[in-house]
Chains A and B, each alone.
Chain A
């Protein structure tokens, strides 16, 4: 197969960046999209050119590293699939493929197709966890969780943190990402004590990072490689409303001093 690639090249966050055109000749239909890029890169290197920078690691759809917009769609044309699981047989021979990085203010470009997604980690650090020390956890079976509830929590927890929801959203909102985490923990009794503070803190962190607000366009669900449902956004809105009624309490922002009593 033969393709023409229109690839976004940008040397760094302050560089202007532009589309460049490369041929991708003699591509086998059994190659994954990333293997096709590997082949193109090998040829670029041997021609003395710099290879196209893109990110990937597990190449089996679970680590969330790969992040390409292909012909305008994050992770390409297939639903419920990350770029690394997209195969070239999916495309018609001789077509033009336009490849871009995630575009969002909160995701500055590092190079070519790689963006900085640390904003998502910072949102997690604001409250996407259960504060639990490793000493003396009670037996797992003393925390009863109905099967349906556990399954719903698992549906939400299966988010891979790739950021496609942000890239697919016209407002670059991280709502589906945040909603997935808040819903995962809100469906479990272990998440109960911190649920009010969590929703409030994660919402504030999302705003602070420069993500847009949710406009209910549902593009996030359409491009999510794990097909996470927008229903979780409704769950999150309910949790957030609860936090505006209840007193959310101070954020965990200030580092606690575990040794204060010894001072």
Chain B
């Protein structure tokens, strides 16, 4: 039976983390060398955690399924990383970053965690500069900042449109140093397939070597999951094609509570899907909304070319509905407004899944040269993908599944409900609440890995007497047996349909029932259609080859199988949350104007789900109390 204890220290917000760090027990330097920890994943959170733990003197076994730790999907983040440096003297502070993050998450995150995140944000920038991250600079040599995601201060640090890449390469280079020193042993092309829990403590993992197919057991005194988000459950998303839920889902089955799975963010400005065989959606930077005007034809089914539609027959729906913020409303608000006009039949492009993002006015006002300078690379990317010239005709955009705020439940120490299992970065649920602000995901990944986990894991290791188990321990063998049984079953399919076709079918169900808007009836329908799809999957999936060799289809089928299971948990959570908050919009809970209605009386809690073998998962609630900010209605009217 799971008991949720957030372990948030009492006392003033500003001193919680300092006091907590002082009361935490330390591991003495000469004891650290006898301790081994496992890190799964090498994105911002995993690479920063593994390198810092190595630097501290622990022995680290680090795993990733890519050929190199540098390829984790953090590499694709474009915009920037927030930090409360107040270099601009424009009114920023730790308190303001804390407040913006709490409010942006629609008051569904823990105050203490978010405050700590804002506090360490300033250290992250310094550490990245020390590692040689080439942040944008002013002529005088100081760090440059820009504004991002609708906040009113300039607190975002950036490396052109490749901030995620440069931050990841910084953490990767720190990892390379520790690999060279022998403190970290890197295991690339290795996928975690199960968690080993002994006497209630995480003690190791079962992995598959993706080249030889060999399964093996790795044991340690603690396991850290840094395995990212699960947006690929929608099939089409902005995630890399390899992103998946397998590691966190396997851990869930071994007793780690899964929190707020229904909080999935939809990004408003992606290139629309064009055809059935599309593999992923490409994000267009949100900065385009600074200068582009979004519109659709007023008349449903109007098939004229955009230049043939006169001004009087265009609906600039964001400017009409939100006159104060116009095209710059937050992500969730913009995405839903696009859905509304497309549902009314006014969408443009193939299948009516798109709206125009029009630069004609800014080109007329400020000249082509300026637009080319500001957004040239994005226009080029758009042209390559769609074959259309957005300088001449408006771009078409459509929302796409992006970041997932839900993840494994963790306490203030980033430890899950399984002692010894720590979860960092996007894989945990903490910090972003029901909606993530732009430029905050990179901040959380690095905060967890560089500056929080290395402190908190020490306390666990100092106060828990567990020697590493033998690799043939009965619990390790049981985990291995589970993996073998599953792999064998996948290979026994009857071979009528590919794993990809099941993934597409599941994505279709999830996008319609649990995407930008959710409704009781749609969620019920999804919960009825997922089990037969899963049944068909296990009877009919075609997985060629064997388990003892390199087999990409086997890897993929295993991930799809977990998505098929996890989809139900996501729908259960969305069904249970009878309110609209952040990225979770329940159609039953909206005002006459279509604005979301949050219900703080009944739903100011974290929903943490406990796995039940052969049964409906059990819901546990961690109440959220707001001592330092007053929850207010988010309004952008």
Q: For the complex, is B15 an interface residue (Cβ under 8 Å from A)?
A: no
Smallest CB separation, B303 vs chain A (Å) = 19
B135 touches A188 (CB 8 A): no
| Contacting residue for B498 out of A45, A59, A129, CB 8 A | A45
A113-162 at interface with B (beta carbon < 8 Å): 114, 116-118, 120-121, 124-126, 128-134, 137-141, 143-147, 149-150, 153-154, 157-158, 160-161
Residue picked from B181, B282, B451, most chain A C-beta under 10 Å: B181
B66 touches A57 (CB 8 A): yes
Q: For the complex, is B166 an interface residue (Cβ under 8 Å from A)?
A: yes
Residue of A whose beta carbon sits closest to that of B542: A45
Kindly list 11 other residue pairs between chains A and B, CB separation below 8 angstroms, not including A28-B275, A130-B131, A262-B29: A51-B553, A62-B75, A62-B162, A117-B68, A121-B69, A133-B55, A137-B129, A145-B141, A157-B134, A158-B165, A252-B181
A63 touches B173 (CB 8 A): no
Residues of B within 8 A of A246 (CB): none
Q: For the complex, is B612 an interface residue (Cβ under 8 Å from A)?
A: no
Smallest CB separation, A53 vs chain B (Å) = 6
Q: For the complex, is A172 an interface residue (Cβ under 8 Å from B)?
A: no
A46 touches B498 (CB 8 A): yes
Given contacts A35-B278, A50-B545, contact A117 B181 (CB under 8 A): no
Given contacts A125-B176, A144-B141, contact A63 B76 (CB under 8 A): yes
Q: For the complex, is A245 an interface residue (Cβ under 8 Å from B)?
A: no
| Contacting residue for A146 out of B75, B128, B141, B176, CB 8 A | B141
Smallest CB separation, B333 vs chain A (Å) = 25
Residue picked from A63, A64, A157, most chain B C-beta under 10 Å: A63
Residue picked from B141, B211, B454, most chain A C-beta under 10 Å: B141
A138 touches B126 (CB 8 A): yes
Q: For the complex, is A39 an interface residue (Cβ under 8 Å from B)?
A: yes
B57 touches A140 (CB 8 A): no
A259 touches B545 (CB 8 A): no
Residues of B within 8 A of A56 (CB): 241
30 contacts between A and B (CB under 8 A): A32-B279, A35-B277, A35-B278, A45-B553, A51-B553, A57-B71, A57-B240, A58-B241, A59-B240, A59-B241, A59-B280, A63-B66, A63-B76, A65-B67, A87-B387, A89-B387, A110-B211, A117-B68, A126-B180, A129-B131, A134-B52, A137-B129, A140-B125, A144-B140, A154-B159, A154-B160, A157-B159, A158-B165, A252-B180, A258-B33
The complex places the Cα of A226 from the Cα of B135 at a distance, in Å, of: 18
Residue of B whose beta carbon sits closest to that of A36: B277
B130 touches A31 (CB 8 A): no
Residue of A whose beta carbon sits closest to that of B283: A60
| Contacting residue for B68 out of A35, A161, A255, CB 8 A | A161
Residue picked from A46, A53, A258, most chain B C-beta under 10 Å: A258
B385 touches A87 (CB 8 A): yes
The complex places the Cα of A181 from the Cα of B278 at a distance, in Å, of: 34
The complex places the Cα of A59 from the Cα of B55 at a distance, in Å, of: 33
B143 touches A140 (CB 8 A): yes
Q: For the complex, is A18 an interface residue (Cβ under 8 Å from B)?
A: no
| Contacting residue for A132 out of B130, B160, B186, B275, CB 8 A | B130
| Contacting residue for A64 out of B71, B545, B550, CB 8 A | B71
Given contacts A137-B123, A140-B125, contact A53 B552 (CB under 8 A): yes
The complex places the Cα of A58 from the Cα of B138 at a distance, in Å, of: 31
B125 touches A185 (CB 8 A): no
| Contacting residue for B500 out of A42, A138, A253, CB 8 A | A42
Q: For the complex, is A191 an interface residue (Cβ under 8 Å from B)?
A: yes
Q: For the complex, is A81 an interface residue (Cβ under 8 Å from B)?
A: yes
Contact code string A153-192 (vs B, CB < 8 Å = 1, else 0): 1100110110000000000000000000000110010110
Residues of A within 8 A of B162 (CB): 62, 158
Smallest CB separation, B613 vs chain A (Å) = 32
Residues of A within 8 A of B182 (CB): 255
Q: How many A-B residue pairs have CB under 8 A?
A: 220
The complex places the Cα of A162 from the Cα of B196 at a distance, in Å, of: 35
Q: For the complex, is B142 an interface residue (Cβ under 8 Å from A)?
A: yes
Given contacts A64-B70, A146-B139, contact A184 B130 (CB under 8 A): no
Residue of A whose beta carbon sits closest to that of B157: A140
Residue of A whose beta carbon sits closest to that of B177: A129
The complex places the Cα of A30 from the Cα of B386 at a distance, in Å, of: 7
The complex places the Cα of A53 from the Cα of B139 at a distance, in Å, of: 48
B126 touches A111 (CB 8 A): no
The complex places the Cα of A114 from the Cα of B279 at a distance, in Å, of: 20
How many residues on chain B are close to A (CB under 8 Å)? 85
A20-52 at interface with B (beta carbon < 8 Å): 28-32, 34-35, 38-39, 42, 45-46, 48-51
Q: For the complex, is B73 an interface residue (Cβ under 8 Å from A)?
A: yes
Q: For the complex, is A55 an interface residue (Cβ under 8 Å from B)?
A: yes
Residues of A within 8 A of B384 (CB): 78, 81, 85, 87
CB-CB nearest 5 A-B residue pairs:
A144-B141, A255-B182, A129-B173, A140-B129, A137-B126
Q: How large is the interface on A (under 10, 10 to 19, 20 to 34, 35 or more residues)?
A: 35 or more
The complex places the Cα of A184 from the Cα of B274 at a distance, in Å, of: 39
Residues of B within 8 A of A125 (CB): 176-177, 179-180
Give residues in B with beta carbon < 8 Å to A: 29-30, 32-33, 52, 55, 57, 66-71, 73, 75-76, 85, 87, 123, 125-132, 134-143, 159-160, 162, 165-166, 169, 172-174, 176-177, 179-183, 186, 188, 211, 240-242, 274-275, 277-280, 282-283, 381, 384-387, 450-451, 454, 495, 498, 500-501, 542, 544-545, 550, 552-553
Residue of B whose beta carbon sits closest to that of A187: B134
The complex places the Cα of A137 from the Cα of B71 at a distance, in Å, of: 26
Smallest CB separation, A253 vs chain B (Å) = 7
Residues of A within 8 A of B131 (CB): 129-130, 132, 190
| Contacting residue for B138 out of A49, A53, A120, A147, CB 8 A | A147
The complex places the Cα of A258 from the Cα of B30 at a distance, in Å, of: 9
B29 touches A259 (CB 8 A): yes
Residues of A within 8 A of B454 (CB): 134
B277 touches A38 (CB 8 A): yes
The complex places the Cα of A137 from the Cα of B446 at a distance, in Å, of: 15
Residues of B within 8 A of A120 (CB): 68
A63 touches B126 (CB 8 A): no
A45 touches B544 (CB 8 A): yes
Given contacts A50-B545, A51-B553, contact A57 B73 (CB under 8 A): yes
| Contacting residue for A58 out of B33, B142, B240, CB 8 A | B240
Residue of B whose beta carbon sits closest to that of A159: B169
| Contacting residue for B142 out of A59, A144, A258, CB 8 A | A144
Residues of A within 8 A of B381 (CB): 85
The complex places the Cα of A116 from the Cα of B29 at a distance, in Å, of: 37
Residue of A whose beta carbon sits closest to that of B180: A125
B176 touches A129 (CB 8 A): yes
The complex places the Cα of A252 from the Cα of B135 at a distance, in Å, of: 27
Residue of B whose beta carbon sits closest to that of A110: B211
Residues of B within 8 A of A138 (CB): 126, 130
A140 touches B126 (CB 8 A): yes
Given contacts A48-B495, A51-B544, A150-B137, contact A141 B67 (CB under 8 A): no
Smallest CB separation, B521 vs chain A (Å) = 33
Residue of B whose beta carbon sits closest to that of A86: B384
Smallest CB separation, B490 vs chain A (Å) = 13
Residues of B within 8 A of A255 (CB): 180-183
Smallest CB separation, A187 vs chain B (Å) = 8
The complex places the Cα of A213 from the Cα of B166 at a distance, in Å, of: 28
Residues of A within 8 A of B385 (CB): 32, 85, 87
Smallest CB separation, A164 vs chain B (Å) = 15
A92-119 at interface with B (beta carbon < 8 Å): 110-111, 114, 116-118
